[in-house]
Amino acid sequence: METLKCLIADDEPIARQILEKYIKDLPNLQLIASCKNAFEVLEVLQKETVDILFLDINMPKFSGISLLKSLQQKPAVIITTAYSEYAVEGFELSVTDYLLKPFSFERFLQAVLKVQQQEKEVKEINQVIVNKVQEENTSIFVKSDKKLIKLNFEDINYIEAYGNYIKIYTKKMILTPQTLTDFLEKLPVNFIRIHKSFAINFKQLEMLDGNQVLLQNKTKLIVGKSYRKELLLRIDKASK
């Protein structure tokens, strides 16, 4: 599970201590800083990337609401306050959740899970967009021996990791300086990794035999244990 970086903003020491403990109790949360006013928060945000801001509203000189309005790019915000009248204004500023003090660990956990769900949904939407763009493209240019070579996706049989290079197998082999992971991000979804060193064009898959795949060009490749489940799911999906 991805680690979420947290920032606390509360002028009450006890409130900060409670949040610090709650954050510490969840292994996927990391406390970046615990601030007693909005000015300290701004300093941290200039230096650090933050995923969740636990924000008290009623702070001296510069309120939490004023802080939110001043931020051009906001992390996920969970308001923590003793004043329920701020709820409507907080949600108008697109906060993720609103915790009314004193709140339990269970209620805190519920708010964190809501952030995680939002993060998941955003990633899924972004991936759909990426996949759509990739599907509309039918080719890619790769650098090889000081040349830019156009490759049609349908002509790629498989790709092999080769240190900081990859070998792309079509009717011939092309060596290009990039990693397998980076290259796969540029390819359509029909390309799937089957081993730490190999990815195949799923459309070229002829047969899965034990821990080996056979491609249409009669190439046989080993399937890594950690990649076998995803490959089986893809085969099952293609069979329906």
What pLDDT, in 10s, does the model give residues 157-208? 999 999 889 999 999 999 999 999 999 988 888 899 999 999 999 999 999 9
Same domain, residue pair 43 and 98: yes
CA proximity to 184, closest of 147, 221, 151, 159: 159
Question: What confidence score (pLDDT) does residue 130 get?
Answer: 64
* Exposure of 148 in the CB half-sphere (CA atoms within 13 A): 3
35, 41 contact by CB (below 8 A): yes
Give the domain-ending residue among 132, 154, 177: 132
Same domain, residue pair 171 and 99: no
| pLDDT < 50 regions, the chain | none
Same domain, residue pair 120 and 9: yes
Same domain, residue pair 176 and 222: yes
Number of domains in the chain: 2
Helix, strand or coil for residue 59? coil
Q: How far apart are CA 126 and CA 223, in angstroms?
A: 29
Q: Which helix (H) or strand (E) holds 153?
A: none
Give the domain-ending residue among 132, 166, 185: 132
Q: How far apart are CA 212 and CA 106, in angstroms?
A: 47
Rounded to 5 degrees, what angle do the CA atoms 123, 152, 196 make? 55
Same domain, residue pair 162 and 189: yes
Same domain, residue pair 11 and 124: yes
Q: How far apart are CA 237 and CA 131, in angstroms?
A: 17
Output the domain CATH number for residue 13. 3.40.50.2300
Question: What confidence score (pLDDT) does residue 135 get?
Answer: 58
Same domain, residue pair 27 and 109: yes
Q: Which helix (H) or strand (E) holds 233?
A: helix 225-239
Same domain, residue pair 146 and 111: no
Domain that holds residue 54: 4-132
List beta partners, residue 174: 168
- Name the pairing type of β-strands 29-35 and 76-81: unpaired
Give the domain-ending residue among 132, 163, 188: 132
pTM exceeding 0.75: no
Output the domain CATH number for residue 208. 2.40.50.1020
Same domain, residue pair 148 and 229: yes
